[in-house]
Amino acid sequence: MSRITIYHNPACGTSRNTLAMIRNSGEEPAVVEYLKTPPDRQTLTQLVADSGLPVREMMRRKGTPYDEMGLDEARWSDEQLIDLMHEQPILINRPIVVTPLGTRLCRPSELVLDILPGAQQGALAKEDGELVIDAQGKRVAQP
């Protein structure tokens, strides 16, 4: 069983880049395509708690009914927002990665590097060509 789980959307570049960084550390994560197999409510509640982020920061706005539903309004409790994320997994932001070192919403994708137990194994560029890891497996300084 993998020590790392990624809640992944293969249609998302950030999610694909994050998955590539996990694999570049020598790990093959458990990949949960959360739109096809949403986490249950208890797991979702735990992911939010373990991330240390407010519920709304774990929610996706772009391409979702977030704004049209008025989910920014104070009338929505955290419990109600988690219920909506469970019912409509498109509202879950991605990718969420769980490792022995923590749980993190990896936006931008480089945030995953802080919670990977293993070092990067070699050079890695994002899909857009931006070099993230050099040939020695070291993180490239961002401008």
Structure tokens at 72: 């920014």
Cβ-based neighbours of 89, under 8 Å, separated by 6 or more: 34, 35, 38
12 is catalytic: yes
Question: Catalytic pick from 5, 8, 9, 12?
Answer: 12
Please report the DSSP string for the chain in residue order.
Answer: --S-EEEE-TT-HHHHHHHHHHHHTT---EEEETTTSPPPHHHHHHHHHHHTS-GGGGB--TTSSTTTTTTTSTTS-HHHHHHHHHH-GGGB-S-EEEETTEEEE-SSGGGGGGG-SSPP-S-EE-TTS-EEE-TTSPBPPP-
**Residue positions annotated with a catalytic role:** 12
